[in-house]
Amino acid sequence: MLSDIAGTGRLIAAGKALFLAGDETALARLPKGRWIGGTIPYFMDAAGGITTRERIFVTEIPASATGVEIRSYGEDSLPRIPADAPENGFSLLILPANSPEHLSYARNAPSYPQIFLKPVIGWIAGMHLGDIGKTSAKTFNGLTGEVSEHKAVVMHASLPAAKMASIAIVNLFSQGTGDSIRFPEEGFSVRDCMIGGKTLNFAEYLLSNKIDTRLPLVADYSGTMVNVSFQAVDEKAGTVALYAPVFQDVEYRIAKPVKNYVKEFTAKLPAGSVNPVFSCNCILNYVYCELEGKKTGSIVGPITFGEIAYQLLNQTLTYLEVKDVG
């Protein structure tokens, strides 16, 4: 829920373990305590999508949690996140956009030891779109007071044996019927692609085929659709910048268009009640689908520069539930 600075401060003073999202100026005014936070001024709230620099999105760790540990991680220690996570519980992670830690996590997280054995969910901190180039994304470690443009902050939460954490996504995009696209090299920036056995310049391909780059590349990961979103196409340099890395040996296709985001989102929500402890959605969905003022069901949370469900995702709503076992 969105809360003002004073209200958030009272929760911290009461000893609550909190996962926070807010503008840098708001987070900087909070007292030390059991919280971590990341910068962003866009949110989905119960009343709909909203931009605010004055209020903070507060996620309280569920009362069923039996323990909470807050840690910061630099690039070298990121692979330890799953090993540091409790055997039964979940880890909430925030990385600052465009930091070496963000890029490293995006490339390497799928290969971290135990990564899929421990639920890790989180988001990429960002900034107001009007502030891009003027300021940087930051993470806050409320326990130490450290504010960082680089470090990941993590809240590891333990659960009792009767509870289990479960991470799921709602991705409106699926592979379209266009060309199968592969890439000879992995990375956030690509020059060449392989289509129909030929090597082509990817920027030229996108432009000559008038591809709508608001639609992501989509890969089928054994039933899970994983998006890679377009950042920029540089015709002169012949390069394409992406918001997540593409990988070798993965087949991508441009996504099928989504006609009405809110309607299709609502239709795609799992049947029955979804009761997320935490959820986040992508800034590109917020902007392209004009979600400001619109509601996306009961699912609320920060609007982010990338979503983490074990690994980095793009243009995907991601949520965590804590369920009873058995």
Partner 1 sequence: MIASKLDPRWEKLVKGETQHQFKNLPAGLLISRVQRQVKKDAGDLKALQAVVDEVYAFFSKYESILTDDLQAIFG
The residues binding partner 1 (CB under 8 A) are 110-111, 116-117, 119, 164, 166-169, 221-224, 226, 247, 249-250, 309-311, 325-326
Q: Which two tokens stand for residue 323?
A: 């369920």
Query: Judged by CB, which is closer to partner 1: 33, or 276?
Result: 276
Compute the C-alpha angle 22/108/235, nearest 5°.
Answer: 80
Distance CA 51, CA 262 (A): 18
User: Smallest gap, in angstroms, from Cβ of residue 167 to partner 1?
Assistant: 6
Name the one residue in this structure whose structure tokens are 């074990």. Answer: 310
- DSSP code at position 292: B
User: Smallest gap, in angstroms, from Cβ of residue 165 to partner 1?
Assistant: 11
User: Smallest gap, in angstroms, from Cβ of residue 323 to partner 1?
Assistant: 9
User: Smallest gap, in angstroms, from Cβ of residue 224 to partner 1?
Assistant: 4
Distance CA 307, CA 315 (A): 8
Query: Judged by CB, which is closer to partner 1: 117, or 237?
Result: 117
Provide Rg for the chain, Cα atoms: 19
Residue in 154, 174, 162, 172 with CA at minimum distance from that of residue 35: 154
Neighbours of 313 (CB within 10 A): 28
Cβ-contact 48, 293 below 8 angstroms: yes
Query: Judged by CB, which is closer to partner 1: 145, or 270?
Result: 270
Residue in 305, 296, 321 with CA at minimum distance from that of residue 38: 305
Query: Judged by CB, which is closer to partner 1: 111, or 177?
Result: 111
User: Smallest gap, in angstroms, from Cβ of residue 155 to partner 1?
Assistant: 19
Cβ-contact 99, 137 below 8 angstroms: yes
**Which run of H or of E encompasses 320?**
strand 317-324
Compute the C-alpha angle 161/34/87, nearest 5°.
Answer: 25
Query: Judged by CB, which is closer to partner 1: 121, or 127?
Result: 121
At 5 the three-state DSSP class reads helix
User: Smallest gap, in angstroms, from Cβ of residue 87 to partner 1?
Assistant: 9
**Which run of H or of E encompasses 189?**
strand 187-190
Query: Judged by CB, which is closer to partner 1: 7, or 270?
Result: 270
Query: Judged by CB, which is closer to partner 1: 226, or 233?
Result: 226
Pairing of strands 317-324, 278-282: antiparallel
Query: Judged by CB, which is closer to partner 1: 24, or 307?
Result: 307
Query: Judged by CB, which is closer to partner 1: 218, or 226?
Result: 226
Dihedral sign from CA coordinates of 45, 48, 51, 55:
negative
How big is the chain, counted in residues? 326
